[in-house]
């Protein structure tokens, strides 16, 4: 596994996302068994970064993540836990309440990283960060970050955060270059901010892209592994794929060890251009 270190904080290049663990926007108890099996498989493979949010299955994802860690007897200090506060909870008191609820669901004393999940047109960013800064001072949150923030919003967050913003979690994948074009990727890379790429293998065309397929074959890898490797070969980029399938969970983890050449990196970056 490769790692990235920013502001004395080290994260694996590939972590485990929990969207759809325990349900979608609402809890779905029929998914609990499969969800717990997936989380246990990820822990057995060696994942140490787990990303969740209060909106994932309306908090049930956090509950299941905490349960899986306890059932696997995973020492708290051996894992890095990220969760997120929703845009409708960015008033000062609401941020504090949301964090407390997440901690109760996880059954933890602190989270390693707390993100604003989405920016809101109505949000008072200084007010939200007044609460976030307090959570850091109180030891309930170790690090702060944001998600889905454009460049100006990210820069404003840096101004009002008392501690370094260590990540901006954004949709970044082959062939989606929207956060390259808006300047966020380059800015993060130049300012010691991790890009956490979510939904990293979303495009259906991935299986049939000829260039991707040929590169995958040359590395005895799957196209999805190559797509992940392309992300994590880039400086300051980490990613959080999710799967219920134990084989895919392992393959995603092992993608961090694939070494792509500069030529292959360029070929993949342009593989969808017409």
Q: Which residues are catalytic?
A: 56
Closest to 87 (Cα-Cα) out of 148, 144, 143, 156: 148
Instruction: Find the distance separating the first CA and the last CA of the chain, reported in whole Å.
Output: 34
Residues 6+ apart with CB under 8 A from 269: 174, 230
φ, ψ dihedrals at 50, nearest 5°: -120, 130
φ, ψ dihedrals at 145, nearest 5°: -160, -175
Closest to 195 (Cα-Cα) out of 236, 150, 223, 160: 236
Closest to 51 (Cα-Cα) out of 86, 82, 11: 82
CB 91 within 8 A of CB 61: no
Question: At which residue do the structure tokens 């596994």 appear?
Answer: 1
* Other CB atoms within 10 Å distance of the CB of residue 245: 12
């Amino acid at each position: 596994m490769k790692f990235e270190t920013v502001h004395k904080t080290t994260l694996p290049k590939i972590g485990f996302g929990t969207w759809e663990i325990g349900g979608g926007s609402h809890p779905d108890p029929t998914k609990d068994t499969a969800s717990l099996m997936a989380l246990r498989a990820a822990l057995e493979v060696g994942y140490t970064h787990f990303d969740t949010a209060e909106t994932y299955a309306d908090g049930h994802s956090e509950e299941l993540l905490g349960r899986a860690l306890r059932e696997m007897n995973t020492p708290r200090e051996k894992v890095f836990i990220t969760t997120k506060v929703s845009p409708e909870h960015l008033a000062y008191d609401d941020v504090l309440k949301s964090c407390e609820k997440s901690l109760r669901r996880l059954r933890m004393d602190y989270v390693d990283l707390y993100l604003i999940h989405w920016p809101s047109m109505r949000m008072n960013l200084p007010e939200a960060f007044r609460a976030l800064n307090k959570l850091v001072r109180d030891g309930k949150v170790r690090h702060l970050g944001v998600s889905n923030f454009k460049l100006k919003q990210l820069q404003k967050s840096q101004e009002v955060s008392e501690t370094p913003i260590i990540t901006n979690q954004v949709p970044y994948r082959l062939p989606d270059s929207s956060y390259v074009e808006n300047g966020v990727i380059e800015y993060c890379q130049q300012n010691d901010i991790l890009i956490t790429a979510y939904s990293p293998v979303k495009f259906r065309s991935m299986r049939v892209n000829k260039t991707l397929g040929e590169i995958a074959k040359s590395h005895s890898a799957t196209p999805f592994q190559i797509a992940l490797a392309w992300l994590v070969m880039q400086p300051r980029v980490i990613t959080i794929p999710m799967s219920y399938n134990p084989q895919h969970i392992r393959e995603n983890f092992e993608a961090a060890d694939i070494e792509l050449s500069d030529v292959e990196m360029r070929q993949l970056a342009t593989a969808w251009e017409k």
